[in-house]
Amino acid sequence: MTEVLMPNTLAEALSMISKDGHDVLILGSGSDVIPRIREREIVPKKVLDLSGLGSELNYIRIEGNVIRMGALVTVRQIIDNELFKGRLEAFLQAGRMFGGPQIRNMATVGGNLGAASSSEDLIPIFIALDAKVKMASIDGDRLVPVSKLVVAKRQIDRRPNEIIREIYFEMPDDSSWTAFFKAGRRNSLIIDLINMAMYLKLNIDGTKIEDIRIALNRVRGKTPERAYKTEEYLRGKRIENETIARAQEVLDSEVQLSSDFRASAEYRKSLDKVILARLINNCRDRIVEGRRTGN
Amino acid sequence: MKISVNVNGRNVDADVEPRKLLVDFIRDDLHLTGTHVGCDTSSCGACTVLLDGVAVKSCTMFAVQANNRNITTIEGLSKGDELHRLQSAFIEEGGLQCGYCTPGMIMTSAWLLSNNAAPTEEEIRNGISGNLCRCTGYDSIIRSIQKASSDRRGGRK
């Protein structure tokens, strides 16, 4: 019989997994894991439920220009927080289409990072923001860049005695914007065929791309990854139709998307190209608009 | 594991198997069978209940996770014989056919209206997008929710 551990403090939780952490499955809310336990897809010896740690792990703070989110922040809290209504729009775009309303009420940031399935929508956004994950253990904290977090499908760089404690990133400046898009068969309760997150910064006079980071899911072995070559091509370029068309070709040659029962690799690739153009234009328009209205 | 939960305003102390889902605890242990199980995979929303006032799928959490929290099920919405305005509106507008999805629809709607007393049609559609109705009765469900929201504001459309 599975044992459910329900600590009340992080210190207590960390001591519970300090020795036999291999046997323990950690739950943020359980919205990903519980259906999989039901299906017997996973049969954990012990489950560690973090839901009692809200006072320690549920916060969204801004310190200087760094935004810190505790592992137990829910998708609902992100959607409702004013902080995400401007340059961090990617979170809103992902949040509004995340699972369904009830799942958004439960699903946590830490759970999304920990589950690391190919459909975890927040991971590409965190990658585009160059975020870092803080892992806690009884030996102290360890930082993992989110771009290095997912090592294979549903496998992350987390040691058995560690708990995801926090994720943090720099707030984009007023020449920058973030955007996210996912394509699925319907808007709600769907595993996406493809998703993409983008951070884009324009130069001072707003004519060229100064910096860009593009992250997609399902790249190489279903792990999320940066499209480095596409980024490199776009850096310093003017946003014109020809540039975008060429960038789409670079992206096409760079990503290795896989086929499955949901969609073929070819279809995913054609979606990717459209999404790339859309996100570039979306970010550019919002930066230009913000400058005009002084936001 | 011993848990203490408040269900529909009543304190319940129980000893539950750690792996027991909240929905099974509600149905099998508390005999509140208004909360339905449609899919068991967090898709259909028939099992929606309010946890501290927030709509969640009770098939997607363990009963022990509800320890020290407040649960409202469909049975807890009415006051004695007086139906909740959502329940009345669903009856008046024909917001149900077979009725299987109805408790989940109503609980999700109760949460929606608690955050947004006068949602637009689009907000309602988004709000219930985690609840499936296989009788394809969405239009009348939406009319029911609209009616409940306009009733709350004291006027009818």
For residues B12 and B66, membership in a common domain is answered with yes
Task: Report the alpha-carbon distance of residue B57 to residue A103 in Å, rounded.
Answer: 7
Residue among B45, B55, B61 minimizing CB distance to A30: B61
CA nearest neighbour of A97 among A191, A229, A14, A175: A191
DSSP state of B40: S
pLDDT of residue A187: 64
A267-283 confidence digits (pLDDT tens): 888 899 999 999 999 99
Answer whether B57 sits within 8 Å of A30, measured CB to CB: no
pLDDT of residue B28: 97
Residue B157 is assigned to a structural domain of this protein: no
Minimal CA separation from B88 to chain A, in Å: 23
Axis crossing angle, helix A265-293 with helix A241-254, rounded to the nearest 10: 140
Answer whether B56 sits within 8 Å of A102, measured CB to CB: yes
pLDDT level of residue B153 (50, 70, 90 thresholds): low
Residue B106 is assigned to a structural domain of this protein: yes
Predicted structure pTM score = 0.92
Answer whether B45 sits within 8 Å of A100, measured CB to CB: yes
Going along chain A from its start, the domains and CATH numbers come out as: 3-117+130-170 (3.30.465.10), 179-293 (3.30.390.50)
pLDDT of residue A96: 86
For residues B93 and B57, membership in a common domain is answered with no
Q: Does A155 touch chain B (CB under 8 A)?
A: no
User: Per-residue pLDDT averaged across A177-202, rounded?
Assistant: 84
pLDDT of residue B157: 41
pLDDT level of residue A265 (50, 70, 90 thresholds): confident
Residue range of the domain that includes B95:
85-152
- CA B1, distance to chain mean position in Å, is 26
Examine the fold and report which residue of B54, B76, B98 is the final residue of a domain before the chain moves on: B76
Q: Which helix (H) or strand (E) holds A127?
A: helix A122-128
CATH of the domain at B46: 3.10.20.30
Examine the fold and report which residue of B56, B76, B96 is the final residue of a domain before the chain moves on: B76
Residue B116 is assigned to a structural domain of this protein: yes
Q: Which residue of A has its CA nearest to B68?
A: A52
Chain B residues closer than 8 Å to A106 by CB = 56-57, 60-61
Examine the fold and report which residue of B44, B76, B108 is the final residue of a domain before the chain moves on: B76
Looking at the structure of chain B, the number of domains it has is 2
Report ipTM for this prediction.
Answer: 0.90
Residues 87-126 of B with CB under 8 A from A: 108, 111-112, 126
CB A114 within 8 A of CB A156: yes
CATH of the domain at B109: 1.10.150.120
Q: Which helix (H) or strand (E) holds B113?
A: helix B102-115
Mutation target to probe the B interface, by most B beta carbons within 10 A, among A41, A42, A102, A189 is A102
From the number of C-beta atoms within 10 Å of its C-beta (0-12, 13-18, 19+), residue A267 rates as middle
Judged by DSSP in three states, A6 sits in coil
Judged by DSSP in three states, A193 sits in coil
Answer whether B57 sits within 8 Å of A188, measured CB to CB: no
For residues B32 and B69, membership in a common domain is answered with yes
Chain B residues closer than 8 Å to A188 by CB = 129-130
Is the pLDDT score of A238 beyond 80? yes
Is the pLDDT score of A71 beyond 90? yes
